[in-house]
Structure 1
Amino acid sequence: MRLESFSVVNFRSITTAHKIQTNNLTVLVGKNNEGKSNILQALILAMDVMRIYAENPRALNFSIRYLRSRYKWERDYPISLQESHPNGVSSVELNFKPSEQEISQIRALTGIRLTSNIPVRVSINNITAKIDIPKRGTTAFSNIEKKQRVIEFVCNKIDFNFIPAVRTETDSLRVVDLLIEKELATLENNAEYVEASNTINRLQQNILDGIADQMIRPLQEFLPSVKNVEIHIQKERRRVAMRRNTEVVINDGTPTPIQQKGVLQIKVNRFCRKSPKKYSADSRVKMRTANRTPSKIGGSQMTK
């Protein structure tokens, strides 16, 4: 699976869609304030939405709060259109080319016989975010259930990373955190890990049930109509917490948290270059898709 082209519309300074063809190496060249960074930021946003969908399709309905750290309608929807389109949507259309093997997998999964690339549209405003396959004169994706399976298939095939060339300490640490989180997430398909997680859930719930029982009587003194109290840890939050909050300690004779190392940025840069999942710089973005050569999208200057 590889990204063949994409276009952005109604995002910051971009109000008209222009298709951008991509290859193994793609370089964006232009004057300052021409929209290169906005194009990349829109692409990052679209890939973030696809990543959330790949982890849990239902979670996308509840992730708008998380995405607000990446997308703020008042800032990111074109100001010139906000008055006339108070619920306007920013969208990114991505055109993916599957391999022959992936075409066969999609056919086995959905019965759809693909004859061309797969267009995916990611749309977002201040209320919702969604992923869809826009109609292009074909009935192949008219079945909603099959279309959702194809979207999920594509989302699970895409691996996208963006690293600015100029990084604060927080940015550098975030690179490491994301890499660790992504690798830990692979355990969620491991039977032993799932069994252990279920055991933890059960043990925690026993304690929470006991606390809930103790709360009933005091509450009934003030609210006689109270019949029951339940305490739960939200499933999605528990799942995410299991792969976050890690600590990286560097031992060069004295074990020290990575935050306190004076050469933090150098170490992070080297770490990312040596990682099997490739990362890029600045307006450099590398996209690794399953069993394909990494694609790179770049700014005005870029080296392989």
Structure 2
Amino acid sequence: MTVLVGPNNQGKSNLLHGISLGMKVIDQLAIGVNPPRASPRRSPMLFHPRRRELVNDFDWERDYPLNLTTRSYTSIRFEFRLDAKEVTDFQRIIGSRVNGTLPVEIKFYPNKPPSLSIPKPGKGSKSYAAKSPEIADFIKKRIKFIYVPAVRTVDQAMQVINQLASERMNSLEEDLEYQDLLRKIEDKRSEHFRALESSVSTRLGSYLSGFEAIEIVGEPVSDFAAVRDILIDDGARTSLLQKGDGVKSIVSLALMHDVAEHTNKDRQVILAVEEPEAHLHSDAIHEIRKVLAQVASKQQVILTTHSPLLLNRSHVASNILVQDNRARPTKRLEELRDCLGVRPGDNLSSATVSILVEGQTDERFLRKILSEKSSRIEGALIDGSIKIRPSGGGSGLTAAAKHLLIEPTTMFALIDNDNDGKNTLKKLGDDTLVPVENIFLVSPGGFFNKELEDFYSKEIHHRVMNQMFAADVASFEPWNDEKKWSNQVKPFLRTIGKPDDTYTVDTVKIRLVEEIERVGTEGLNPQASPILDSLVARLEKVVI
């Protein structure tokens, strides 16, 4: 999820409008509509793909960047990343090969239609230009762009709802029974139109000199799928058009969620939402945050916001700071605080629950397993209510706990059951940093000298070791009751001629957690389950 943040009047909305305009042009070029010439003041208008009505999206005097006054055009550039199948499809359909990235430039002029090109040096650029409709069609069939503006009037709300509903109803295009019924309705309607044409022609022939024929064209029968209204029963059955802006926003976002869930796997949806918090109570904003995060797990989401609640806390760099005619990824939470005017008391960095662990691989392991074991915990991890905080080792864990004392967060700790872990446990207890009921030891089977990697199954260990070193791993027994995991893996590495330094051991840890992220709870040591289940039960009592 990409979040555009910044002070008012700095260009956040313009960025979304630009993306929307560029994607709309791609759609228009894909269906072969030739926009008419416009006056020097206005860029060519675009046809609505269904109703064929003119939609004026770009005003040259209003929208042309003032710092580019010496140029005769302005442009929007996209960069689409293609997977292996899409690269193959592009070569088959377009006849040219791309290396996994498809750059596209849309140019707007003061007195001629917009154009699409592929910025590529050399002779290939001309062949791309000749195939711009095919390239636009290639993109359109793989991406659906949905834009929800901040000002949600009745007409705009219904436009968005129709757009979302029509995307959901696309499956009807593959329903043979439905298509057969449409053809029958069209045939029956055409019979009546032809009869009406014949009757009117007889009369017009006597009124108009030179009259030859008349043709009556009806709205597409397929427009039956359009939504005329939505009725909400919340104690009183009422049209959505009569509901407040907050309800319209929530319905639109609920439809977004549904579209994201049911979109064809070969077609991605990009949801662009301007200020989703607009018109909403704070409780509703929390719910919207969860919905957007869930949608973002499957589709691409871009939003603008002034609310700290909607920032992407899991990936700080996904928050794009728009300020002083620049847009750049945020590096630190402090930048977001300053940008949004959040004061220290607003506590942007705090979470309801903080789980302290020793290392980065511990964090990745715990995030995957907890999410799989509990949907409530998964939701809390997504929306930032629970944060797993790597501390860089036992001593770092104690320091992290002291730092968090100033924040309103409930602390948990998962600690290796070894000598270092015992020292950390003592410090946590002496300083009463973490409640004893929230401290969990890595002690599968109740044994001492255990590290988090002892939570992994033998099969995971053997598979990873074999993939990494192509060695006979049958002799490697990761669950020795008396030895630490690291003290078992180092002798094994030496026996197969590999270094046993920190870098190699850490690389093994990373490969192990990558395998756990792939297979989930299936890769657990059975003796780990009681400890992890106990942690889940305790967390679920704390998380609201």
Check whether TM > 0.5: yes
Counterparts of 1:253-292 in structure 2, within 5 Å, are 254-261=236-243, 264-265=247-248, 267-268=250-251, 271-272=254-255, 274-277=257-260, 279=271, 281-282=273-274
Larger deviation, residues 123-132 vs 193-202? 123-132
1:140–1:224 distance in 2 versus 1, CA, 3 Å: closer
Q: Unpaired segments of 5 or more residues in structure 1?
A: 1-24
Larger radius of gyration: 2
> Counterpart amino acid of 2:12?
K
Partner of 2:89: 105
> Counterpart amino acid of 2:258?
S
How far has the Cα of 1:230 moved from its partner? 2.4
Contact 2:77–2:104 (8 Å) recurs in 1: yes
1:273–1:158 distance in 2 versus 1, CA, 3 Å: closer
Q: Distance in 1 between matches of 2:108 and 2:144?
A: 20
Number of equivalenced pairs: 269
* 1:294 corresponds to 2:300: yes
Of 179, 186, 192, the residue aligned with 2:164 is 179
The Cα offsets for residues 176-211 of structure 1, whole Å up to 9 and x where unpaired, read as 222112222443344333333222222222111111
1:80–1:208 distance in 2 versus 1, CA, 3 Å: farther
Larger deviation, residues 138-147 vs 257-266? 138-147
How far has the Cα of 1:81 moved from its partner? 7.5
> Counterpart amino acid of 2:134?
R
Contact 1:121–1:132 (8 Å) recurs in 2: yes
Partner of 2:408: none
> Counterpart amino acid of 1:151?
A
> Counterpart amino acid of 1:108?
R
Partner of 2:26: 50
> Counterpart amino acid of 1:268?
V
Across the aligned residues of Structure 1 and Structure 2, the Cα RMSD in angstroms comes to 3.8
Of 35, 59, 64, the residue aligned with 2:33 is 59
How far has the Cα of 1:153 moved from its partner? 1.4
1:183–1:42 distance in 2 versus 1, CA, 3 Å: same
Partner of 2:101: 117
Contact 1:49–1:60 (8 Å) recurs in 2: no
> Counterpart amino acid of 1:38?
N
Report the secondary structure of 2:127's partner residue.
coil
Larger RCO (alpha carbons 8 Å, 6+ apart): 1
Q: Distance in 2 between matches of 1:103 and 1:35?
A: 34
Contact 1:53–1:59 (8 Å) recurs in 2: yes
Of 52, 58, 75, the residue aligned with 1:91 is 75
The Cα offsets for residues 9-32 of structure 1, whole Å up to 9 and x where unpaired, read as xxxxxxxxxxxxxxxx43444444
Partner of 2:311: 303
Report the secondary structure of 1:212's partner residue.
helix
* 1:194 corresponds to 2:168: no
Partner of 1:149: 134
Q: TM-score, normalised by structure 1?
A: 0.70
Q: Distance in 2 between matches of 1:180 and 1:68?
A: 21
Contact 1:205–1:232 (8 Å) recurs in 2: no
How far has the Cα of 1:270 moved from its partner? 5.8
- Percent of residue pairs bearing the same amino acid type: 24
How far has the Cα of 1:104 moved from its partner? 1.9
The Cα offsets for residues 64-122 of structure 1, whole Å up to 9 and x where unpaired, read as 2546343333432357878x88xx54421111110112112223334433224111122
1:122–1:248 distance in 2 versus 1, CA, 3 Å: same
1:51–1:243 distance in 2 versus 1, CA, 3 Å: farther
> Counterpart amino acid of 2:26?
M
Of 216, 221, 229, the residue aligned with 2:206 is 221
The Cα offsets for residues 186-245 of structure 1, whole Å up to 9 and x where unpaired, read as 433443333332222222221111111112232222334323322233xxx516633324
Report the secondary structure of 1:250's partner residue.
strand
Partner of 1:9: none
Contact 2:205–2:211 (8 Å) recurs in 1: yes
